[in-house]
Structure 1
Amino acid sequence: GPSENDPFGPNSPFAPFFRGMPPFGFQMPAPQPIRGEGSGFIIRPDGVIMTNAHVVNGASEVTVRLTDRREYTAKVVGVDPKSDIAILKISGKDLPTVRLGESRSLRVGEWVLAIGAPFGFENSATAGIVSAKGRTLGGGYVPFIQTDVPINPGNSGGPLFNMRGEVVGINSQIYSRSGGYMGVSFSIPIDVAMQVGEQLQTTGHATRGKLGVLIQPVTQGLADSFGLPQPAGALVSSVEKGGPAEKAGVEPGDVILKLNGHTIEDSSELPVQIASLAPGTAVNLEVWRTHAPRELSVKLGTMEEKGTTARNGSHKESGKLGLAVRPLTPDEQKNGNVKGGLLVERVTGPAAEAGIQPGDVVIAANGSNVTSAEQLKSAVEKSKGHIALLIQRGETRIFVPVRVG
């Protein structure tokens, strides 16, 4: 057995700390529940509360503490991760509510105030100004209000007030390289939040309209290629088969300029506006096709919740572009779900500078399908300044403007 001088023996001063444990063993602490904190605000006196989805999503139990220290166990009525909105319900009556404003009346430069519990410091107020409006993050469906209000962990879900004491937004997230506040904060407009919140209260989930297209921004090079007077609108890079847009006659290469008469200045505006409409709504689109505008009517669908490789073979150079291409074989067309198309085997010059890669498939040039190097060369010869190539890369289709001449 261990000697009396053993520093870990029964007579050791450390013995009380190890008594009842296996020799040289360590007892793991019992797992503790993970707790999170956030903020919210009461929108109805009978206890309906609005907060962020990420504050309560996945929680097994939600406790609400009011400013007067009363505590309630809350029921999660509905959660919408796409907009980051959640509705809670507590049992109460005649509870104090916030006054709701209109986020669309906010002006850049206007002072705003956030109230929340940063790092657990309850009922903390921080102030700043509106830096910008209509920011879309990561191709989402929320036109965020950007502010320089200090927002930190624990502020999420709290109200953003204007100087009239009206809620104009919900503090949602920050942009940071350090993990802490860096002067760029984002809030969900209250108009958007209430639209989602009403659906969550009624049905427990939110529905959104769907157009059924993939879009990309219109750059100056693409505008030149399509004959647009200025780089604006949303360029349709692909159309969902059997979707609402295809049924209405929308085609890849169309540039959506207006939705119900409202000009689409930037492509990021289109998903936000479509998502705000109910499925089944009929909308009017003004699209730019073959150097001229035309009108289309689309009945929106419902948004669901939820690679090509190079081979050896003969190829031809398309000189001005710097592309070596060859027609796709029937098997390659079938596997890539394309008709025609040219496989890019080598890239140099303007095409390489534009980001085209070996293995990409050229589907169309300036809106016309290409099935041979001669067709591509002819399209290049007719182009002035830029040519817009529709490229398929894996499962994705994008338009790439390439400078020629």
Structure 2
Amino acid sequence: MTSKKTGYLLGAVAGAGVMVAAVAGAGIVLPAARADQGQVIKASTAPIFAPPPGAPMSFADIFEKVSPAVVSINVTSRVDPSLLRRIPGLEGLPFDIVPRGGGDDEDEGGTPPQGGRTEKGQPKLPTQQSSGSGFFVSPDGYIVTNNHVVENAETIKVVLKDERELDAKVVGRDEATDLAVIKVTGGPYPFVNFENSARPRVGDWVIAVGNPFGLGGSATAGIVSAYGRNIGETFVDYIQIDAPINRGNSGGPTFDIYGRVIGVNTAIFSPTGGSVGIGFAIPADVAEKVTSQLVHGGAIQRGYIGATIQDFTTEMAQAQGLGDQKGAIVSDLTPGGPSQRAGLLPGDVVVAINGAQVKSSSELTREVAQRHPGDILHLDVIRDGRHRTIDVRSGVRPSEKELAANDNGAAPGGAGGGQATPSPAAPAVLGMRLAPLDEALRRQLGLGAGVHGAVVTSVEASSDAGDKGLRRGDVVVRAGDRQVATAADVAAVVAQARKAGRQSVLLGVYRGGRTAFLALKIK
């Protein structure tokens, strides 16, 4: 990770800011105070200080009400020893991890003892202990937490507020939203409810309760900082809060001032690995829908169109003469997938789905995922500068592991990534020298018959292509709105763009089994 990173650590959410002296049910509403200062109200016994409007006097009542439903989750799992060696700094880790020393399975250094083997003859991995948070959502023992807290668990122990320790088992997990449900036996247990109807405003109070650094039963307060944060996860528009959350808060709840769950703490943004007041929570509406399906044993199915997409940026739009058009541009298609069967093409710009505007690749992915497999999706696309509608029948989205395996494998035409032999005689276009992809280069670069384009043989370091990371061995497969095979093809598109008064040209570049689009400036 870079110095600024989003680590799976925790998250939080917000509450409806109302001037109350107590929460959880019927709060004691105080007389209105001046907006610029507190007010002393005369009472028969002693003065009571009333804070400015919107500021609660204390969060004690809400904490007393909801804290019995919040639990600490202690997990034992096995881990690659190379990962343990990176643990001392703990930066970017999702929750507190403590390597175990000694015992039957490893030595003091946290590595397997000599000769230690599993039943199948493989070396035993050392164990690690980690801690997160969760909360009861029913009296019969169902607990919501983060997937990353329990996904590799061998044993799970749940610690209640009264210090009882219970064994738990995983009921279901959803890697795509980082949510999981675990269960303990017995009950009834105190539980809390998700709040979907009265969403707090930005600036409203929230309180996060959880198990930071294994301390258990801790509360922090803050406000909702923003909604709709995209932190690189596909299916969630996160709530940003400033209530301090740290390692160990993962999976804990964020409450509004009425004790209703408005989010599940999931991640923080931090240059240090600790809280800097920027936390993210999965909104209650997403969490409730997913966890309800997991509780009832349902498989989480999402729509799927079999297309690789990326943001269609303002720079790309200007390169195509489309002004400030937003959307998602199709870079690749899954062979035989729903989009390819429907006639979608690389380079198409999706601007709406079923009439709903699409401004980014994340928005399109979320809209598709919300549809049921078999649904017809009406995609409004721009192709060759013209609008058209393409109807795609949704498939079933593969698991995240299956998708990752497909991404890492050889896409159409192989993995690529070799080094093209320099061709000094090749003409320079946009700071690159390009050569036709003949059979010799195809073999040299390890490219299959499905890849067509012009191979980059060299790049001027001072050019926009150099600044944007193009390198020898990349294959330019599209320029503007057409497929290209030679430097002359690319030069013709550049000349056309210059004649139209455009400042850049949109290129589709193939590397490592995938195609990505970027706009290069015309000198």
TM-score class normalised by the smaller sequence: 0.7 to 0.9
The answer to whether structure 1 residue 373 and structure 2 residue 373 are counterparts is no
Work out which of the residue numbers 412, 421, 427 in structure 2 matches 1:311.
Answer: 421
**For the structure 1 residues 314 and 121, does the alpha-carbon distance in structure 2 shift closer, same or farther, using more than 3 Å as the test?**
closer
Aligned to 1:60, the other structure's residue is in SS state strand
Is contact 1:323-1:344 (8 Å) kept?
yes
Asked if the contact 2:210/2:217 (under 8 Å) is kept, the reply is yes
Q: Provide the residue aligned with 1:326 in structure 2.
A: 435
Q: Which runs of 5+ in 2 are unaligned?
A: 1-100, 106-126, 402-416
Secondary structure of 1:99's counterpart equals coil
Q: 1:327 to 1:38 in 2, by over 3 A?
A: same
- Which runs of structure 2 are paired with 1:24-39 in the superposition (5 Å)? 29-31=102-104, 34-39=128-133
| Paired position in structure 1 for 2:467 | 353
Q: Contact 1:363–1:370 (CA<8 Å) still a contact in 2?
A: yes
Matched-pair contact (CA < 8 Å) for 1:119–1:153: yes
Shift in Å, 1:104: 8.7
How big is the shift at 1:58? 2.1
Over 3 Å counting, the alpha-carbon distance change for 1:243 and 1:157 in structure 2 is same
Number of positions where the alignment pairs a residue of Structure 1 with one of Structure 2: 377
Is the contact made by 1:104 and 1:191 (CA closer than 8 Å) also made in structure 2? no
The one-letter code matched in structure 2 to 1:370 is V
Per-residue deviation at 1:165? Answer: 2.1
Match 1:364 to one of 462, 470, 478:
478
Structure 1 CA distance for aligned equivalents of residues 129 and 464 of structure 2? 54
Shift of 1:199: 2.7
Could you list the per-position Cα deviations for residues 92-113 of structure 1 after superposition, in whole angstroms to 9, with x for gaps in the alignment?
Answer: 3443221211289343323221
Partner of residue 336 from structure 1, selected from 428, 447, 462? 447
CA distance, structure 2, for counterparts of residue 345 and residue 360 of structure 1: 8
Conserved in 1, the CA contact under 8 Å of 2:351 and 2:380?
yes
For 1:174 and 1:104, how far apart are their aligned partners in 2? 25
**Structure 2 Cα separation of the partners of residues 355 and 365 of structure 1:** 17
Aligned pairs (5 A) from 1:1-400: 29-31=102-104, 34-102=128-196, 105-203=199-297, 205-305=299-399, 306=401, 307-313=417-423, 315-319=425-429, 321-330=430-439, 332-333=441-442, 335-337=446-448, 338-348=450-460, 349-383=463-497, 384-400=502-518
Is the partner of 1:242 in helix, strand or coil? coil
Against the structure 1 CA distance between its residues 341 and 117, is the aligned structure 2 distance closer, same or farther, given a 3 Å change threshold? same
Contact 1:318 1:376 in 2 (8 A): no
Greater Cα radius of gyration, structure 1 or 2: 1
Q: Is the 8 A contact 2:423 2:457 kept in 1?
A: no
Following TM superposition, by how much is the alpha carbon of 1:339 offset from its aligned partner in structure 2, in angstroms?
4.5
**Structure 1 residue runs without a partner (length 5+):** 1-27
Checking the alignment, whether the CA contact within 8 Å between 1:308 and 1:393 is kept in structure 2 is no
| TM-score with structure 1 setting the length | 0.86
TM-score scaled to structure 2, two decimals? 0.67
Which amino acid is the alignment partner of residue 365 of structure 1? Answer: A
Instruction: Name the amino acid aligned to 1:30.
Output: G
Distance 1:242 1:180, change over 3 A: same
Whether contact under 8 Å (1:314, 1:326) holds in the other structure is no
How far is 1:376 from its partner?
A: 1.5
Q: SS where residue 44 of structure 1 aligns?
A: coil
CA distance in 1, matches of 2:353, 2:158: 42
What is the aligned-residue identity percentage? 39
Amino acid at match of 1:277: R
Q: Which residue identity is paired with 2:273?
A: G
Tell me which residue corresponds to 2:34. none
Q: In structure 2, what is the Cα distance between the partners aligned to 1:296 and 1:110?
A: 43
Instruction: Name the aligned partner's letter for residue 163 of structure 1.
Output: I
**Distance change in 2, residues 1:92/1:245 (3 Å):** same
Shift of 1:323: 2.0
User: Aligned partners of 2:177 and 2:322: how far apart in 1?
Assistant: 33
The two structures, once aligned, show a CA RMSD in angstroms of 2.3
How many angstroms apart in 2 are the aligned matches of 1:79 and 1:207? Answer: 12
Partner deviation per Cα, 1:54-113 (whole Å, 9 max, x = no partner): 222222222223323444322211122222111112223443221211289343323221
Distance 2:197 2:438 in 1: 54
